[in-house]
Amino acid sequence: MKLIKGGTVVGPTGAIPGDVLVVGEKISAVFAPGEGPQEGDFEVVDATGKYVIPGGVDAHTHMELPFGGTFASDTFDTGTKAAAFGGTTTIIDFAVQRTGEVVQDGLAAWHAKAAGNCHVDYAFHQILGGVDDESLKAMDQLVTDEGITSFKLFMAYPGVFYSDDGQILRAMQKARDNGAMIMMHAENGPAIDVLVKQALERGETDPIHHGRTRPEALEAEATSRAIWLASVAADCPLYIVHLSAGKALEQVAAARDLGRNVFAETCPQYLYLTLEDQLGAPGFEGAKWVCSTPLRSKHETHRADLWKGLRSNDLSVVSTDHCPFCFKDQKELGIGDFSKIPNGIGGVEHRVDLLYQGVVDGKLSLARWVETIATTPARMFGLFPRKGVIAPGSDADIVLYDPSARTRISVETHHMNMDHSAWEGYEIDGKVDTVISRGTVIVSGDTYHGRAGHGQFVRRGLSDYLL
Ligand code: DUC
Ligand code: ZN
Ligand code: ZN
Ligand code: ZN
């Protein structure tokens, strides 16, 4: 037993001083200060001056993702340890069905990568690399038997993961029937491919042309098209991933104002980083900021729009889209051709901190911080109330957050398996202090007490947000 004593417990409804009793792997009770057990066989964890928040739920990571002839550089071991250091106690990674592969084989390969290697609990979404009779049948089986209740489709990347509108509609109809969520990479891939080809023909090969060939209009158009297709599929629940552009957000907001079953996430990189970070980098180094959807210009209103969307709940979740590649030998694959730079930024370690800086800066309330990084992702993806909340019966996944300490992000100190950081030098007025995963303290200060294999696979239920 543990009594987490003297802190301020923060949840989506607010912040209240309280003591949290943990018995085994579960939260047993939350007491008003001093009203819990006074003595007995328990360890006291001093939370004086700290926020006591549910462990972060990162609903979008890619450990070991195959991409453009290489693999994301974090394994489930290194990536979930980095997550733990950053206050994230559950990740939802994307199992991949490669085009032509049996869905269940892709899933089995993902279980094989993760099993026994994770430091925090994990669940899976399933990427569908093709929609046909077999994969549609597999969707039912995954929902019913495997605890996988969300499926990602791509409107981008023709020839790789891409689904056309007819395939998307069929998958949405299936999701409408079995209660699953469709997650959409909403960028118009065929149009982007034309722009990429034209840019390369003009000799525009530098990293900056990645973003310039993925304009806002093509994210907004695909977002709108996905929303309309979902309406044709009798309002299949739709979740737009890694939303980066103000005009894409407008599409989501308009649908939500009509009462549509449409949700979206954004990621810390879109809230803070810009195309100008990339432009300012010497030589090929701009490749460090190549991700899809791309970073947007600071001279437009995207970042302000996204923060506002988080406040208004038009953006429900902040995930990282953690997709790390080293600069050396990985990002470098795109020297002379930006389209060969593997797309992704690593950030699984920094999400809780970076969003807390939004609280300090007056852009988010404390309650909304916790809601967007823990409670809503848990509810969105069928992990609630086991995850995402400090309440009796929930898993004792708890973070003590110290608002009086500071974090400085650097490749020298991060735990992700990356040789650079897109966040190098960022400073945050707050710090993850202690991390408890299912009742076990796995991080205290800068000391690690966890182990690979502690993290367990979690079967998910259907989304709480299903209509
Ligand atoms: N989409 C993702 O969600 N992650 C990495 C690359 C991509 O296109
Ligand atoms: Zn994507
Ligand atoms: Zn609205
Ligand atoms: Zn992703």
Query: Tell me, what's the pLDDT at 252?
Result: 98
Tokens 């209509």 — which residue?
467
Amino acid at 112: A
185 lines ligand 1 (CB under 6 A): yes
Burial 31-42 (b: 16+ CB within 10 A, else e): eeeeebeeeeee
Tokens 């995954």 — which residue?
142
12 lines ligand 1 (CB under 6 A): no
* Distance (Å, whole) CA 186 – CA 155: 6
Instruction: Give the number of the ligand closest to the Cα of residue 252.
Output: 3
Task: Judge residue 70's burial from the number of C-beta atoms within 10 Å of its C-beta, 0-12 exposed, 13-18 middle, 19 or more buried.
Answer: middle
> How far is Cα of residue 281 from the mean position of the Cα atoms in its chain?
26
Amino acid at 73: S
Domains annotated on the chain, with CATH: 2-53+392-448 (2.30.40.10), 55-380 (3.20.20.140)
Query: Tell me, what's the pLDDT at 105?
Result: 98
**Residue 199 backbone dihedrals phi, psi, to 5 degrees:** -65, -45
Among protein residues, the one with the nearest Cα to ligand 1's atom 1 is: 292
The two tokens of residue 234 are 């009798």
Among protein residues, the one with the nearest Cα to ligand 1's atom 4 is: 321
ipTM of the complex: 0.93
Which of 49, 136, 51 lies closest to 432, judged by CA?
Answer: 51
- DSSP E strands, 56-180: 56-61, 66-67, 70-71, 88-96, 121-127, 150-154
**Which ranges of the chain have pLDDT less than 50?**
none
Best probe residue, ligand 1, of 61, 64, 67, 92 (max atoms within 8 Å of C-beta):
67
Which of 87, 126, 139, 22 lies closest to 432, judged by CA?
Answer: 87
* Distance (Å, whole) CA 124 – CA 455: 13
Query: Tell me, what's the pLDDT at 45?
Result: 97
The per-residue pLDDT for range 207-256, each reduced to its tens digit, is 999 999 999 999 999 999 999 999 999 999 999 999 999 999 999 999 99
pTM: 0.98
Tell which atom from ligand 1 comes closest to the C-alpha of 343. 6
Task: Judge residue 306's burial from the number of C-beta atoms within 10 Å of its C-beta, 0-12 exposed, 13-18 middle, 19 or more buried.
Answer: buried
Tell which atom from ligand 1 comes closest to the C-alpha of 152. 3
320 lines ligand 1 (CB under 6 A): no
Q: 119 with 77: CB under 8 angstroms? A: yes
Amino acid at 306: L
Tell which atom from ligand 1 comes closest to the C-alpha of 156. 8
Among protein residues, the one with the nearest Cα to ligand 1's atom 3 is: 321
Instruction: Give the number of the ligand closest to the Cα of residue 290.
Output: 1
* Distance (Å, whole) CA 301 – CA 222: 20
DSSP three-state, residue 230: helix
